Chains A and B, each alone.
Chain A
Amino acid sequence: MRSEVDMSNVLDKLREYSKPGYYDEFDYHWTMTIDLDRCTGCEACVVACQAENNLPIVGEERYAEAREIKWIRIERYWEGEFPDVKLNFIPMLCQHCDEAPCETACPVFATYHNQDGLNTQIYNRCIGTRTCAVYCPYEVRYFNWFTYTWDEPLEQQLNPDVSVREKGVMEKCTFCIQRIRMAKDNAKDDGRRRVRDGEVVPACVQSCPTEAMSFGDSNDPDSKVSQVMNSPRGYKVLEELNTVPSVIYLKKVHDDV
């Protein structure tokens, strides 16, 4: 029996664990795909997210001050001029980057990468410096400038699985972490080690009327998301910044005659 700890082994583990994307080999790597050839920009996902994640109704004045909170939004990009004009839609949400610029920015480690490859935000650790929002190239972090309230009895709708945020806290898409937790708990109750493909469905993915989005574990080569993300149309937004997003978009097909 050895009495001393094999330090090289520990260091190996440390190196392994601090390696970006270590969860590629361990737990899950939650990944989302969005097929822009299916997406119509209908915004069903936007309302689904608002309902699921207790997003506040900020009101017209606050909205005009660009203080709206929408964890997923549809961006619109016009191309060309009348009459040969096109409008392209792209849903934009937290990309859960492997090399997230926001994570390095936070002075209090309120945002960090968890073992599932999620970029998470710890609300009660956040002190509201808003640095992360400045660092985020996708502009998907939203700050609570106020403590928003719900006109009675709208608060009865609030999802008890998701905390309501207060003034001074940064928030953003969580990939519906409460649904991930639920699926893991269910798997555990069933005596399974892993969540099955398709058991975790974030609210936006669930609602999508054109089935443009899919979600799953890209560590599992057989998962739907792994199949879809290998499409030749797949790309990552602002890939050149080396943020390594976990959201993979599939290009829209333009086949004008």
Chain B
Amino acid sequence: MSKISRRDLLQYIGAGGVGTGAGYLFAEAIKRPVEFLIPPVVPPEDYSPGVATWYNTVCNQCSAGCGISVRTREGRAKKIEGNPAHPVNQGRLCARGQAGLNALYNPDRIRAPLKRVGERGDGAFETISWDEALTQVAGRLGRLKIEDRADRVQLLTGGIRGHLGELFEQFITLLGSDRYAQYDFTYPANLRLANRLSFGIEHLPYYDIANCDFLLSFGADYLGTWLSPVHFSLGYGQLRQGREQRGRCIQIEPRMSLSGANADEWIAAVPGSEGVLALGIARILVADGTYTGSDRDAWQRALEPYSGDRVAAATGVALERVQQLAAEFGSSKASLAIGGGAAAAGTNAVASLVAVNALNHLAGNLGQPGGIIFNSAPVFGSATRHAGLTQMTELAASMQDGAIEVLLLHDTNPIYAMPDAAGFADAMAAVPTIVAMSSFMDETTAMADLILPTDTYLEAWGDDAPEPGVGLPVASISQPVVARVYDTRSVGDIVLSLARRIGFELPVALPWANTKEFIKDAWKKLYTELDPQADAADFEEFWLAALQAGVWGRVEATGGPGDAPAPSTIPDIDAAAATFAGDTAEFPFILHPYLSATLFDGRGANLPWLQELPDQMTSVVYGSWIELNPATAGELGIRDGDLIEVESPAGSIRAPAYLFPAIEPGVVAMPFGQGHTAYGRYAQNRGVNPVQLVALQSDQQSGELAWAGTRVKLRNTGERARVVRNDGISRTLGRQILHPEENHA
């Protein structure tokens, strides 16, 4: 925020033609400490006392890419609301998105560049100047480049999309390395691979929940955590009450999620059997003639093994119910099958998702309203450097071998979000120099030698093209909504100033003075490329309009291929059985971890509003818990609040028991998100991290961590632990609160 000096103020007074008497009084008035004075003449244009200014930008709390409008007053951000013009969220916003203010004004942000002084991980740092920090990093990188060893530089970031991802890409390439990886725990790599196998299109399609009559979800918590929850929630509202015919929703999952609670039917299938169930339904669709394609015979042969009895036995879902599902799926005008959550995180995840895709094809939903509508590729900057378990294990091995000399980190926390057995933390010890560009002291950042504090997304420039898209090409610019709270820099600015300091061809190839200029330049290219007739001189107008609107897009749809899936998928249709780490006799329960609808994959744990927001299904705040079926608990003599030791082949943690009425008896569930050993006062030393229980197994096709593929055993420690919750008596006990006795269709 620019300050108005006393001299300026006097000039304004002169220019405003205020009488000398008043001028004298004003001059006297401003001799007092300025903090008591709001300049009475023309303040900066976004700074009118008492009047809110709204800035449009992009939410960064998950990868849905919702547009947000931030209300600011007197240069402070006050509230985040959805941007009504943005087609993804249409003015709405989830709890996590709104809690972004807690990230901006978080008391535990890193406030200045830090240099390690003690041993690694001790947490002892001293403050240094930006100049010193950048000189050190640039010097290290420059020396490696001179010695032609720049391929020993590894850049590891979160799932960065948009032009910023391209900037990283260019930077690392110009440096002479191709080591750039993105580790994002929630990246839908299995779904993308399945879609590529089924449809030949990897980028995510549009799932048209709003217009669908029968929604069959295999584990995808589309109302809480799956891909684009706000957009799907809008669709769900529409499906329920926004049209003539109310749509139906079925949720198939071993533990009821938020979407399961809202479904008309919640079906607890055996974990990992979702693909078998999908193919069982598919077989019926082909057999009963719902599918009439020319390759019907081939499908029939491929689906032959999925007979009703076999499916019922494998999934634990009664045969009649499978038949009912098939009948309804086939006969509904618009039906849609989606897969996600634990069903997309087993050892057979890709195969299961391909099976779900096959259902959509057989019912003729592809390219249809209420089905799967293919998007054209995002306007720019899809995240392409995603690293799954395989790549991360390889990276850890390279680090152990001494092949990495400098590790540059940004916005990713593999020490927390990867099982200890993957050895990433140990491998980091073997890297001579670790530089973290980070806003918070998370577990991974705490291991760095040098920390360059970054702006939060509410203080920085950037852009994003949402994925899954909404059927139209759409993109948004991120802009700072307030001046920096601390002595931080945007990660783009850091990369650009490193480039300038390193020299060689970098400053020529990356000539921008700051991220804003870089983004603006990228949009200028976009502007002229997309519309060659456009007058480049009008760009400034376009830029301002796009900034102001918070979104830019084209109204006419440029449809992708909306036809049949690639025929090659048919012979591949095979729902391999999921394998679970751990012997059935020794580890009798299947662990069902799930993304928290409040803390997500753990990135929300440092936001006090989210810590204090009751978990939607259990009402628990500020801690971890393990959910088990009341009947199971009864057999084991476990009561609500008993401290349970949960042991898997990979590790063991302790958490209080929560008797959860909607979970299969052989399954125990835990949310991700808690159990941080760092990450600020709200997150640190609170609850446990179920990632530590996950055995190192990956999906057979994608190499992604199969975080839903571990068995555990339970031991009652005999101790009691506090579970802070506010649900009180969670039955209506005959009180007419919900009026369930009367039904209206």
Task: Enumerate chain A interface residues (CB-CB to B < 8 A).
Answer: 35-38, 40-44, 46-48, 50-52, 57-58, 60, 63-64, 66, 68, 73-79, 81-83, 85-90, 151-160, 203, 206-212, 232-233, 235, 237-240, 249, 251-257
Of all A-B residue pairs in the complex, the 7 with the closest CB atoms, nearest first, are A210-B237, A209-B233, A87-B261, A151-B107, A60-B622, A47-B95, A209-B92
Complex contact B661–A156 (CB within 8 A): no
A68 to B95, CA, bound (A): 17
Complex contact A44–B619 (CB within 8 A): no
B residues 267-286 near A (Cβ < 8 Å) are: 268
Q: A156-B76, A211-B234, A257-B324 are in contact. Are A90 and B738 (CB under 8 A)?
A: yes
Q: A77-B738, A237-B737 are in contact. Are A40 and B223 (CB under 8 A)?
A: yes
Given A42-B597, A63-B726, A211-B92; 10 other pairs, CB 8 A cutoff = A42-B223, A42-B224, A43-B598, A64-B722, A82-B663, A82-B664, A86-B266, A151-B608, A157-B102, A253-B743
Q: Does B140 contact A (CB under 8 A)?
A: no
Complex contact A206–B81 (CB within 8 A): yes
Q: Does B74 contact A (CB under 8 A)?
A: yes
**Shortest Cβ distance from A245 into chain B, in angstroms?**
12
Instruction: Please indicate the chain A residues that have their CB under 8 angstroms from the CB of B501 in the complex.
Output: none
Complex contact B107–A251 (CB within 8 A): no
Complex contact A41–B261 (CB within 8 A): yes
Q: B616: nearest residue on chain A (CB-CB)?
A: A41
Q: A56: nearest residue on chain B (CB-CB)?
A: B612
Q: Does B20 contact A (CB under 8 A)?
A: no
Complex contact A251–B81 (CB within 8 A): no
Complex contact A87–B738 (CB within 8 A): no
Contact of A154 among B73, B102, B265, B742 (CB under 8 A): B102
Contact of A85 among B236, B623, B662, B727 (CB under 8 A): B662
Instruction: Please indicate the chain B residues that have their CB under 8 angstroms from the CB of A68 in the complex.
Output: 612, 621, 726
Q: Does B609 contact A (CB under 8 A)?
A: yes
A48 to B69, CA, bound (A): 13
Q: Which of A77, A82, A255, A256 has the most CB of B within 10 A?
A: A82
A250 to B745, CA, bound (A): 12
**Shortest Cβ distance from B465 into chain A, in angstroms?**
21
Q: A66-B726, A253-B246 are in contact. Are A58 and B612 (CB under 8 A)?
A: yes
**Shortest Cβ distance from A102 into chain B, in angstroms?**
19
Instruction: Please indicate the chain A residues that have their CB under 8 angstroms from the CB of B262 in the complex.
Output: 40-41
Q: Does B562 contact A (CB under 8 A)?
A: no
Assign chain B's interface to a size class: 35 or more
Instruction: Please indicate the chain A residues that have their CB under 8 angstroms from the CB of B569 in the complex.
Output: none
Instruction: Please indicate the chain B residues that have their CB under 8 angstroms from the CB of A156 in the complex.
Output: 76-77, 105, 485
Q: Does B149 contact A (CB under 8 A)?
A: no
Complex contact A157–B745 (CB within 8 A): no
A52 to B582, CA, bound (A): 49
**Shortest Cβ distance from B74 into chain A, in angstroms?**
7
Instruction: Please indicate the chain B residues that have their CB under 8 angstroms from the CB of A235 in the complex.
Output: 739
Contact of A63 among B107, B233, B236, B724 (CB under 8 A): B724
Complex contact B631–A256 (CB within 8 A): no
Complex contact B107–A87 (CB within 8 A): no
Complex contact B631–A90 (CB within 8 A): no
Q: Does B230 contact A (CB under 8 A)?
A: yes
**Shortest Cβ distance from A76 into chain B, in angstroms?**
5
Contact of B261 among A44, A51, A89 (CB under 8 A): A89
Q: A42-B233, A160-B73, A253-B743 are in contact. Are A207 and B264 (CB under 8 A)?
A: no
Contact of A240 among B106, B609, B664, B736 (CB under 8 A): B736
Complex contact B224–A35 (CB within 8 A): no
Complex contact A209–B735 (CB within 8 A): no
Instruction: Please indicate the chain A residues that have their CB under 8 angstroms from the CB of B485 in the complex.
Output: 153, 156
Complex contact B81–A232 (CB within 8 A): no
Complex contact A251–B258 (CB within 8 A): no
Q: Which of B89, B98, B485, B629 has the most CB of A within 10 A?
A: B98
Q: B82: nearest residue on chain A (CB-CB)?
A: A207
Instruction: Please indicate the chain A residues that have their CB under 8 angstroms from the CB of B106 in the complex.
Output: 154
Complex contact B621–A207 (CB within 8 A): no
Contact of A159 among B79, B107, B237, B742 (CB under 8 A): B79
Complex contact A76–B730 (CB within 8 A): yes
Q: Does B256 contact A (CB under 8 A)?
A: yes
Complex contact A77–B91 (CB within 8 A): no
Complex contact B246–A47 (CB within 8 A): no
A159 to B742, CA, bound (A): 42
Between A and B, 18 residue pairs with Cβ closer than 8 Å are: A35-B241, A36-B738, A38-B241, A40-B236, A40-B259, A42-B95, A42-B229, A44-B93, A63-B726, A82-B631, A87-B261, A88-B738, A88-B740, A160-B73, A211-B242, A232-B744, A251-B742, A253-B743
Q: Mark B84-104, 1 if CB is under 8 A from A, else 0.
A: 000001011111001101101
Instruction: Please indicate the chain A residues that have their CB under 8 angstroms from the CB of B266 in the complex.
Output: 85-86
A249 to B663, CA, bound (A): 29
Q: Mark B704-745, 1 if CB is under 8 A from A, else 0.
A: 000000000000000000101011001110011111101111
